[in-house]
Chain A
Amino acid sequence: MLQALPAAPQEQPDLYQVDLERFQGPLDLLLHLIRNQDVDIFDIPIARITQQFLAAIERVDRLELERAGEFLEMAAILVRIKAQMLFPRRTEDGEEEDPRAELVRRLLEYEHFREAAGHLEAAERERARRWTRGWVEVRPAPPLADAPLETGWDEVWDAVLRLAARDAEPPPGYRFGGRPVRMDEKMELVLAALQESRRVEFAALVSPWGTRMHAVVSLLACLELAKRSQVRVRQAAPFAPLWVYRRRAEEG
């Protein structure tokens, strides 16, 4: 009967499994280990708890660095206490100093505030059962500076038509590696187009090629020319047509 047991009872604590993600920090984990095993907090079996703590934080490298540091610091404290337990020190008055005293104080203090947090949670729950008239959640205003504030269905429909009219690119799987699109060529092209007319719509610059890469490089070319003060780029509203203007010589 006895050999049917998978492990000897005294080894059982080693197998104590905890999910580290659940814990807010090392004190939380430590308190869990102590309270869930009915350990007397004023007489913590340091060797056992340390072993369990170290086992629990083996996965710590998968957490972010700051969290890992917090758990490792506690591990160091536990190991130090464990060592000090082997060599009890005496204070001047000959009293034996318990190396666990400071840890116990911290644990109790932490537990104390956790209780307080529990009270807050209960109060919050109770308050949430009562509503004000037209209560609206207070939230920070999202930064919406540049997005269009209003749009109508006709604008949306226009956009859909424009998309539908554009020739679809072949799916990526069948594409052959084309000639790389060169930005200096695009810049020359933009300037050439502006020789003929004062302004040109960006879409017109792109439409002969139609692929995304040409559009991207054309846009970069326009921006580069604008930076060099050779063209102006204008757009009346977000998502409105983009126009490229010739810049007159006297403008500098």
Chain B
Amino acid sequence: MRPSRVVEAVLFASQTPLSAAELARAGEDLDEDAVEAAVAELRAEYEREGRAFGVFEVAGGWQILTRPEFAPVLERFDSVPANPRLSAPALETLAIVAYRQPVGRAEIEEIRGVGSGGVLKTLQERELVEVVGRGEGLGRPLLYGTTRRFLEHFGFRSTEDLPRPEELPVVLSRRNEDGRQDGAQAG
């Protein structure tokens, strides 16, 4: 079996992105380099043949997804459920966690100016954030970070895909670095 077909079979059957290491387990003679070559081959092939789907790089791995231009077609089908969108408070909280991780609830609430326990819980339930440790200071507050599912939800390859803070229109001046200490306080 050609390596590209093996990789294709596994990617086709998987509902989540698979990393090079995970894909390499599919065949005895596969290693990560061979997987990458196989993925490149598949991509070129799908591209050449104008397939409705492609191999996309998501969350540190690859995933077969339909191409965006077919969205209007798929949206017509009730049997193809749409990915549920996040609310504004959820996105705001997630943005803070993404940029400031590991971050405590106190810091998130200080930045947003509102209680955020409920939103954090929802994000945890949806496996978009997780507890990644405990901070210093009173009560050793829980610190949150983003998950692999977070990357999947937004189609990011890694957290590097987030726009860098200095690329955002509102650039933070000094004190940016002090944030960490705020978060470590009380919980």
| A binding-site residues for B, Cβ under 8 Å | 24-28, 66-67, 70, 74, 105-106, 108-117, 119-121, 123-138, 140
The complex places the Cα of A127 from the Cα of B150 at a distance, in Å, of 12
Q: Chain A: interface secondary structure?
A: helix
Nearest Cβ in chain B — how far from A188, in angstroms? Answer: 51
Kindly identify which residue among B56, B88, B95 contacts A116, using a CB–CB cutoff of 8 Å.
B95
B65 located at the interface, meaning its Cβ lies under 8 Å from any Cβ of chain A in the complex: yes
The segment from B24-32, B35-43, B134-142, B171-179 that touches chain A is B171-179
B46 located at the interface, meaning its Cβ lies under 8 Å from any Cβ of chain A in the complex: no
Residue of A nearest to B63 (CB): A132
Q: Indicate if the CB atoms of A66 and B81 lie closer than 8 Å.
A: no
Q: Indicate if the CB atoms of B65 and A110 lie closer than 8 Å.
A: no
Known: A112-B170, A120-B98. A131 touches B155 (CB 8 A): no
B111 located at the interface, meaning its Cβ lies under 8 Å from any Cβ of chain A in the complex: yes
Task: Report, as a range, how many residues of chain B touch the other chain.
Answer: 35 or more
Residue of A nearest to B88 (CB): A24
The complex places the Cα of A133 from the Cα of B81 at a distance, in Å, of 11
Q: Indicate if the CB atoms of B98 and A24 lie closer than 8 Å.
A: no
Known: A24-B112, A25-B112, A128-B85. A108 touches B173 (CB 8 A): yes
Q: Indicate if the CB atoms of A119 and B168 lie closer than 8 Å.
A: yes
Q: Indicate if the CB atoms of A130 and B95 lie closer than 8 Å.
A: no
Q: Indicate if the CB atoms of A113 and B162 lie closer than 8 Å.
A: no
Q: Indicate if the CB atoms of A24 and B92 lie closer than 8 Å.
A: yes
B94 located at the interface, meaning its Cβ lies under 8 Å from any Cβ of chain A in the complex: yes
> 10 closest A-B pairs (Cβ-Cβ)?
A127-B155, A25-B114, A116-B95, A27-B113, A130-B65, A129-B71, A129-B68, A117-B91, A117-B95, A123-B154
B169 located at the interface, meaning its Cβ lies under 8 Å from any Cβ of chain A in the complex: yes
Most buried by B among A25, A116, A123, A138: A116
The complex places the Cα of A135 from the Cα of B17 at a distance, in Å, of 12
